Amino acid sequence: MKLASKDICITPDRKGDQETSSVRLASLSCGTSAWDAVPDVNISFHQKEFTTETGTAIHVEQVCAGVTRYTFVIGKQAGVTTVYSLYPGVKFCVNSFDIHRIPVLSSAKRDGLIINYCCEGRCRVELGNGRVVDLEPGQVSIDVDHPVGSFQSSIGHYMGIEIFLDFDMLQEQFPMFFEDLSIQPFALRERFCRVARGTVRQMPKGVLSFSENFYRHVKLPCEYRLILAQCLKGIEYIPHECCAVKRSMLSPAQAMIVRSVESQLTADLSVRTTIESLANEYGISESSLRSYFHNMHGESISSYLKRLRMERAARLLENTDESVGSIALQVGYENQSKFASVFKDFNNISPSEYRRQSRMRLDVQMHLTENQQSVTT
């Protein structure tokens, strides 16, 4: 199923005895998002695949009762979100992404609390009211505004957990599990979101620690109830006086400047633009521009551009027969030797050797595929 020029939001609902998924479309433009009142499209929860017009392939699978897995693929990048419905009004999401951008999976906006804890990598989440939150390992965001737009990772890697608490449903049916452990989600909102709509804090050390298997293997919902309690109690343990709120929130105007600068810098990687000229264009100082950019992306402008140039060069080496000199020019290096030196520093291998090894891997994969096909026939 090919979707028109919009990204996707998937929300579960029940109709009779059959559990289905309602697909809503979220319009994305100029960094904002508005949920459109379009007719729901029902898809079976067992296994479905579809692709957005932006090229994101999404595979939806109901693993077992109360567990739904979403797999996102863009080219060679992939990410997985596994959603566990633990109690009425309580969803626990395990995220494992090696991808730079994916659509946000979010329920309809309701009164509640959204908690996002970063274990590895880095993530940026656009929230309502134009706010942007950046998270680094060990940081947790506690917010009443739902994510909009898209989830982004500047380094293309993120592992973390999300908790969605629907207060309307919790008031109707409060889990006995919460009562037994004295978990008070309403008190968390009063404490952290009473003055502002959200906050970013450093989680106390030792409260949460997960192995990689935590993300790679789907578990039963009951296994995550203790982890849910661990996370919520850990937030309660954040001290009032000395935790010093570590906020990574840019104002809407600052976030818009960074997005505009990012678009200009990445439109043509063969062109080199100075930070001074960009700062003058937006009427801010160079130091402010550097600070805004680092706040949003977790790396400097120069590091960000070098990474994009080297990633682009790697794709060209893998997928084209263009010369190393031609590829160097396309990613902004007039001097082929300088390009080769930077590429080797970044990838621990020369451009020529990278191309040779990537071709060998492709040949091996094609050979294995042919063998598998011959066996099956």
Q: Which two tokens stand for residue 40?
A: 């729901």
Let me know: does 121 contact 157? Beta carbons within 8 Å. yes
Chosen CATH of 317-377 out of 2.30.30, 1.10.1740, 1.10.10, 3.30.420: 1.10.10
Chosen CATH of 7-236 out of 2.60.120.10, 3.20.20.450, 3.10.20.30, 2.60.40.1180: 2.60.120.10
Per mean pLDDT, which of 27-31, 191-195, 292-296, 305-309 is the most reliable? 305-309
CA distance readout (Å), 66 to 173, 219, 221:
17, 11, 7
Pinpoint the alpha helices (H) of 46-93: none
Using the CB atoms, write b or e for 86-112: b if 16+ within 10 Å: bbebbbbbbbbbbbbbbbbbbbeeeeb
Q: What is the pLDDT of residue 336?
A: 94
Q: What is the pLDDT of residue 374?
A: 66
Let me know: does 20 contact 43? Beta carbons within 8 Å. yes
Using the CB atoms, write b or e for 208-228: b if 16+ within 10 Å: beeeeebbeeeeebeebbebb
pTM surpassing 0.85?
no
Let me know: does 141 contact 113? Beta carbons within 8 Å. no
Q: How does pLDDT run across 46-81, given as a tens digit for each residue?
A: 557 767 666 678 888 888 888 888 888 877 778 888
Q: What is the pLDDT of residue 110?
A: 73
